[in-house]
Structure 1
Amino acid sequence: MTNSRDQTSDLFGAREGEKSVEAPLAERLRPREFADFVGQDDITAPDRPLRRAIEADQLSSVIFWGPPGSGKTTLAYLIASHTKAQFVPFSAVTGGVPELRAIIKTAEQRQAINGQRTILFVDEIHRFNKAQQDAFLPHVERGTVILVGATTENPSFEVISPLLSRSLVVVLKPLSDEALGHILDRALVDSAIGLGKWNARLSPDAKQRLIAYGNGDARALLTALDFVVRQQSAGSDGTRLIDGAALEAALMKKSIRYDKSGEEHYNVISAYIKSLRDSDPDGALYWLARMLEGGEDPKFIARRLVIFASEDVGNADPMGLVVAAAVAQAVQFVGLPEAQINLAQGTTYLATRQKDNASYIGLLEAMEDAKTHGNLGVPLHLRNAVTTMMKDLGYGKGYRYVHDDPQAKGQQEHLPESLKGRRYYRPKDI
């Protein structure tokens, strides 16, 4: 019987001492131990529950959800290297139900013969349709297999509810610039499996541009680095010096200046919102494009559209919020790159609507009064009299039910005594 480590090699390539120089750089540098794993500290730090479960070989079914290059497959590798269970990799892209049934049958036999568990790693589990997921659901329920899934798509949309409820969903984030910087540095100095023998040096500008190009994706970062280093000619001293211009020439893509956590991030989103507010669809589309080209999270943009629809369009066009919410849902469901089209539609719709911020301004004024005046008592006629004692105290006395008494509309006071006459909502004439 093939042991778990042998099967792990089939999925992840050769072991540390057997890594082929022909393997992609990202594969050669894939961490084999938690100590080498960079980023996702909220998941992989020594005191984190998931890491403890993996190291103790006590893992239950889990689904890793995160963007490309964030470490999903690497975590699966770490599970394989720490478990005594049989680790069986399976691709939802190339495999089907017959292959899956064969794996399940072998897992049942293995469990019956020697009690060994089977961990089934399903890469790109979102590629399975409902019928395919149903095929291994009962075996997960019975414990015949422990499922480890990896997906770039929202599991709540792509994984059937019964399977989702039996699995821990672990969310991986795009790797931080700091994490990408560490990965980049290791790749440049490691002579055994990295690019150390190429004697390459990156200028500070090139390093920052390359990190921006990676955009949270370690695989994309290392693929680009490998290509750039191999294309760069060595100087007289044997050093391959790569500056920003050389980087752009090699990648044939100009790096957009857009720091997602710095000043430029706030400058661009400010320009975008102001363009929307000023009813300029052209300006709004340009700043939208700048954000997308710079690697901004489309969900962040969608959230800003939802906020803008209520804050700046308001009741001048109530459909604005409906459209914005639909765009946000579409972005979550479709994903990039097609979600850019949804964002463009929402942007142009909101930019061309009439604007009214009366609800937002009214709320701010009401909140200021609530803070300034404290807990003013609710007028007696607005209180709900649910007991005889409350009725005796005057709760609800004098309240007129407008469905039975249409003349009462607008005739009753609904503010505390000291705020009578205050007007918060002042809609514009449109």
Structure 2
Amino acid sequence: MRIALFSHDSLGLGHIRRNRALAFAVARDLPALTGREVSGLLIASSPEATRFDLPDGWDWVILPGVTPAPGGYVPRSLASSMQGLRALRAAAISAILDQQRPELFIVDRHPFGIGGELAEAIDQVRGHGCRTVLGLREVLDTPSVIAAEWEKVGGSARVAESFDEVWIYGDPDVYDPRSTGEVPAALAAKAMTTGYLSQDRPDDGGVLAAGTEAASDLTADVESAGTGTQPFVLTCLGGGSDGGSLASIAVDAEPPDGHRHLVVTGPQMDTEEFERLRARAGAATTVIRHCDDIPGLVAAADAVVCMGGYNTLAELMATDTPALVVPRKGHRAEQPRRAFALAAAGAVDALTIDNLDADVLSEWFAGQGGRLADRSHIDLTGLSTVPRLAAELIAEARSERHATVADLTTEPTPATAATAGTTTSFPTALEETSHAV
């Protein structure tokens, strides 16, 4: 069977990494659940996606990209109007899905992509019997902001008509967007929570981006910090495009006695800003641009400081490493709402960037010695739940197709009996119909 996943990818790596984790989960579990081999495509639009591997039989499709701008989006690189780029992306998506004929299509966060680019493709695949799923983070934004976004794409009823199910990647005992109003009633009726996509996330590999240093030097830095030869604390900033304020505080903070401090800025941080941070870092602090095995670093660290992105915290919660979450300020209310909900649940500590400076961070680091975080009360099983939900949807679709074929085998009417001696017999027509279905 073929599975397809879509992410619009205007900023950061979160959408890509979430869909990649889902791909590994369904590749691992669906064959046993369905008795069928599984392959798939991840449709994305960030060139960073291809640095991440995929399961055997899966591949990336990278579209020309977009980037946020005042009032909407603009082409990231292509010399085109936004209208022209949208038309190009829509045509490419429709052609890919028409040729591949997936049985399950999972769309991350934005139901119709950028500017409605997915609308035609969704109708197309549903016409082929494909099941469609809208995957949502557990936190979207303030209810008023999200209500306006649902209306902008035609209202929640229209979205509900286009998707068979809505999967919310979180624990409702921590945060339930159905009760806050972020997922309105029409969608809530089709929604189910999966648990955080935390446990059994795929290994990101351990390949380092060189930045301005040789890759071997960066490998030595990370291996020295992560092998246990010297304890270390970690600051990681996700993609890095909006982590400058936290990074600036982090490089001025003092790690605990006997520890190193590893700061991973993210591959999307501006080069000049990255170089300034490296120049300011003290002798006990190492600043690198990227490490593909951030989960491994988080698990090995004595303490972690991070922003409040979904994937960062999902990976963090699979460990017992104490964490201070400093959510992104501005843009959206998503990160603060997530950070303080998890803090209220006892999973992390949280502070706003306005209440943090180098002294506060140094003091927090110093207080974490020997402490382990207990997150056993949080549902972290999303990557086991999603394949089961996928198998149920696919089985339902196949059952409906079989029922359609069975309807064709009912006793012939007088009109069909009268044609029984014609060249095309009923069994031949049924075989052709079954093949088409």
Report the structure number with the largest CA radius of gyration: 1
Q: Same fold (TM over 0.5)?
A: no
**TM-score when normalising by structure 1:** 0.30
* Structure with more strand by fraction: 2
* Structure with more helix by fraction: 1
Structure of higher RCO (CA pairs closer than 8 Å, 6+ residues apart): 2
